[in-house]
Homo-oligomer: A and B are copies of this chain.
């Protein structure tokens, strides 16, 4: 079960797939070569834990490819996913030595890691990085707050529709497709992972997926392959304004 061989990973920042979106997006050539000195790649298989909550973390990292989740767990095992980390997202917190969350790979994941100390020092002297990191953190804060509305006030059906529309939207924007015409994508999450993200049980997730399928909001080929014939319909089911642009 090999994922992309290391040889295909750009050792060279200039042709990195997340070059223009990651924390290094605004760096110039000189700054990039400083980063190249402190960076190294790591890969993880699906299901593998990248960091445990409470563990010492002496690196920060960008997701280069694949999907990872951030989650919190209570003593009795209840767990809540608090973040979905996609390519270009940043993992780890400058100025903190331990992880506050479990970080788990849900697909094959490639990460571009930076040793923490040198990276922190570089933040101090490199406004390009500090500003990009601030911007990314503000975006994540907005996303977390949007998710609070989903968790606190939406019904199970709306929660499922919300999750599907987020994944569909992201997929469409990666593939540069418009919102017209059917959207097709693969669910990167198991029913249980969806439940942990939505604050539901996996049975409720399954039932609501079946209901959305029965009502023609989505079509399923197998368990993971999803077709959305009408994106606006999905948005309505999510309880969102249908005019919320696709290109966010």
Using a CB–CB cutoff of 8 Å, the interface residues on chain A facing chain B are 70, 72, 74-76, 78-80, 82-83, 93-95, 100-101, 123-124, 127, 130-131, 133-135, 137-138, 140-142, 144-149, 151-153, 198-199, 239, 241
Residues A152 and B198 in contact, CB atoms below 8 Å apart: yes
How far apart are A153's CB and chain B's nearest CB, in angstroms?
4
Copies in the complex: 2
18 A-B contact pairs sorted by A residue (CB < 8 Å): A72-B146, A72-B148, A72-B149, A74-B149, A75-B239, A78-B153, A82-B148, A83-B145, A93-B138, A94-B138, A95-B135, A127-B127, A130-B130, A130-B131, A130-B134, A133-B134, A144-B148, A147-B148
Interface of A: prevailing SS: helix
Given contacts A144-B148, A145-B144, A148-B82, contact A74 B138 (CB under 8 A): no
In the complex, chain B residues whose CB is within 8 Å of the CB of A70:
145
Q: Select one of B79, B134, B148, B149 contacting A137, CB under 8 A.
A: B134
Residues B146 and A144 in contact, CB atoms below 8 Å apart: no
In the complex, chain B residues whose CB is within 8 Å of the CB of A124:
127, 131
Residues A148 and B149 in contact, CB atoms below 8 Å apart: no
Q: Select one of B80, B141, B153 contacting A141, CB under 8 A.
A: B141
Residues B134 and A80 in contact, CB atoms below 8 Å apart: no
In the complex, chain B residues whose CB is within 8 Å of the CB of A151:
148, 151-152, 199
How far apart are A8's CB and chain B's nearest CB, in angstroms?
33
Determine which residue in A75, A127, A142, A152 has the highest number of CB atoms from chain B within 10 A of its CB, and name it. A152
- Please measure, in the bound complex, the distance between the C-alpha atom of A76 and the C-alpha atom of B240, giving whole angstroms: 10
- Please measure, in the bound complex, the distance between the C-alpha atom of A140 and the C-alpha atom of B142, giving whole angstroms: 10
How far apart are A243's CB and chain B's nearest CB, in angstroms?
11
